[in-house]
């Protein structure tokens, strides 16, 4: 797996091209910073999940974890490929509604969903993934008040540690997420005693940017174990087992195993466990976010000043940074990039490459997008294209320094379509109460 979109190539001008569009032209037309999504890569990544499951385990569903990148156009494309959605807030749910999507394939997550949002979820008829007993009790009350039945799944804490950044590990015992082992029967009893709640199954999510398949296979053991305990104690059947998301992508030169390999190993274990426990094979669910959208996205920036501190380093400054991509400052995340208007220099004259630090424009020394990268000699107005930025960039973007967030275009077959407008100064002050 490369860290570039599938359609990436160099065109005859020596420019970087994605989705048949010259990225230097895109920068000119839409301005920078600019988020670019390659439709073909996005659809291909969806199909990797959907087609493997369809052929090997049809009783299954893939949910796109919309927290990775959520706007109506992207949600529509993903759902058009047959995926459902994982939403984790009223805002993501609202976006799904705006996109006119099938709400029966939406699963609502979150460790502390505000009551108002929980109510929106019940009213919309989405599946609710309950994270704790307090939420279950509230859910019962809300459903009763709305005279509706809520389909409920429990998020369990599997006690599995995945090897990834501490901030994006979620399956450890010491975690804010999930119902603990000693509370699971109490949770099941709340549901079995309620006229308004229907138990559908169990969910777990162990973390993000994971390359090891084993923890996902272990999830099957834990999920079946909990399912059995619940069945024995209350008679409730977990008809759906949700393995969460978390599969890793290549930002620099990481080599994740192909998605079908991950799915096949999990399926094998699911079949074996169902046979061992003599229970019907459950519906299985996966919730990828990053592995669907990240490789489909790139971000374009324009270089401003280039500054050399003799004997120390060269800085190249971009017109964006930590507000459009906070991952480097938050997680020390690494990215690869190229100069979109100098690709031929990059590939043909490797020796002429120089080391640069790519610095953002924000008032914070830590606003460094890339600590060190070799690129051809950088000049003012060059276009920097950063790879694999589809996930958790726009979705975690801020207005730090009151900078307007960038627009987003989808590219396909030489056509570019604006799917998100650039914020304006007016947008920035639109919520200010001017006294």
- Say whether residue 287 binds ligand LLP (CB under 6 A): yes
| C-beta of residue 187 within 8 angstroms of C-beta of residue 133 | yes
Please give the structure tokens belonging to residue 232: 């024995």
Candidates 21, 363, 388, 404; catalytic one:
363
**Window contacting ligand LLP (CB under 6 A); options: 71-79, 203-211, 212-220, 375-383:** 203-211
Return d(Cα 406, Cα 423) in angstroms, integer: 7
Task: By CB under 6 A, name the one of 157, 208, 302, 412 that touches ligand LLP.
Answer: 208
Q: Toward ligand LLP, which CB reaches closer, 110 or 376? A: 110
- Say whether residue 223 binds ligand LLP (CB under 6 A): no
- Annotation says 134 is catalytic: no
Return d(Cα 103, Cα 43) in angstroms, integer: 21
Window 28 to 67, contacts with ligand LLP (CB under 6 A): 65, 67
Give the SS3 label for residue 396. Answer: helix
- Say whether residue 109 binds ligand LLP (CB under 6 A): yes
**Window contacting ligand LLP (CB under 6 A); options: 222-230, 256-264, 286-294, 305-313:** 286-294
Task: By CB under 6 A, name the one of 121, 289, 328, 407 that touches ligand LLP.
Answer: 289
Return d(Cα 391, Cα 162) in angstroms, integer: 20
The size of the interface with ligand LLP (CB under 6 A), counted in residues, is: 23
- Say whether residue 157 binds ligand LLP (CB under 6 A): no
Window 355 to 394, contacts with ligand LLP (CB under 6 A): 391-392
Return d(Cα 118, Cα 99) in angstroms, integer: 20
**Window contacting ligand LLP (CB under 6 A); options: 44-52, 134-142, 271-279, 282-290:** 282-290
Q: Toward ligand LLP, which CB reaches closer, 86 or 382? A: 86
What single DSSP character describes residue 105?
G
Window 166 to 185, contacts with ligand LLP (CB under 6 A): 168
- Say whether residue 246 binds ligand LLP (CB under 6 A): yes
Return d(Cα 130, Cα 136) in angstroms, integer: 6
Return d(Cα 336, Cα 90) in angstroms, integer: 34
Return d(Cα 236, Cα 182) in angstroms, integer: 17
Q: Which residues of 67-84 are buried (b: 16+ CB within 10 A; e: fewer)?
A: bbbbbbbbbebbbebbbb
- In degrees and rounded to multiples of 5, residue 130 shows phi and psi of -80, 135
Q: Which residues are catalytic?
A: 363
Residues that bind ligand LLP (CB under 6 A): 65, 67-68, 86, 109, 168, 205, 208-209, 244-247, 287-291, 327, 331, 391-392, 396
């Amino acid at each position: 797996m490369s860290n570039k979109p599938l359609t990436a190539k160099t065109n005859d001008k020596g420019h970087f091209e994605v989705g048949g569009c010259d990225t230097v032209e895109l920068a000119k037309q839409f301005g920078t910073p600019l988020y670019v999504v390659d439709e073909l890569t996005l659809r291909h990544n969806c199909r990797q999940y959907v087609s493997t499951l369809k052929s090997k385990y049809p009783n299954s569903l893939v949910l796109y974890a919309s927290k990775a990148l959520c706007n109506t156009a992207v949600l529509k494309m993903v759902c058009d490929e047959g995926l459902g959605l994982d939403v984790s807030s009223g805002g993501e749910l609202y976006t799904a509604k705006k996109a006119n999507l099938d709400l029966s394939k939406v699963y609502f997550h979150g460790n502390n969903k505000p009551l108002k949002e929980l109510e929106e979820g019940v009213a919309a008829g989405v599946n609710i993934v309950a994270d704790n007993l307090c939420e279950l009790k509230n859910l019962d009350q809300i459903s009763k008040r709305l005279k509706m039945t809520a389909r409920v799944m429990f998020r369990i804490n599997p006690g599995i540690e995945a090897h990834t950044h501490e901030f994006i590990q979620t399956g450890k015992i010491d975690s804010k997420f999930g119902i603990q082992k000693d509370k699971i029967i109490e949770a099941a009893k709340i549901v079995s005693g309620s006229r308004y709640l229907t138990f559908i199954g169990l969910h777990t999510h162990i973390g993000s940017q994971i390359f090891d398949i084993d923890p996902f296979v272990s999830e099957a053991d834990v999920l079946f174990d909990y399912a059995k305990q619940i069945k024995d104690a209350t008679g409730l059947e977990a008809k759906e087992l949700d393995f969460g998301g978390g599969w890793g992508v290549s930002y620099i030169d990481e080599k994740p195993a192909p998605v079908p390999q991950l799915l096949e190993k999990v399926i094998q274990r699911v079949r074996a466990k169902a046979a061992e426990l003599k229970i019907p094979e459950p519906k299985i669910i996966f919730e990828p976010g990053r592995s669907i959208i990240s490789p489909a996205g790139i971000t374009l920036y324009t270089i401003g000043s280039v500054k050399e501190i003799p004997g120390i380093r060269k800085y190249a400054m971009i017109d964006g940074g930590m507000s459009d991509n906070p991952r480097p400052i938050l997680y020390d995340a690494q990215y690869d990039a190229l100069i979109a208007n100098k690709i031929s220099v990059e590939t043909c004259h490797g020796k002429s490459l120089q080391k640069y630090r790519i610095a953002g424009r924000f008032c914070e020394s830590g606003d460094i997008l890339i600590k060190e990268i070799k690129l051809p000699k950088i000049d003012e107005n060059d276009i920097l294209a950063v790879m694999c930025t589809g996930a958790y960039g726009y979705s975690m973007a801020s207005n730090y320094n009151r900078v307007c967030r960038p627009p987003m275009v989808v590219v396909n077959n030489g056509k570019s379509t604006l799917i998100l407008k650039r914020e304006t100064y007016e947008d920035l002050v639109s919520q200010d109460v001017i006294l």
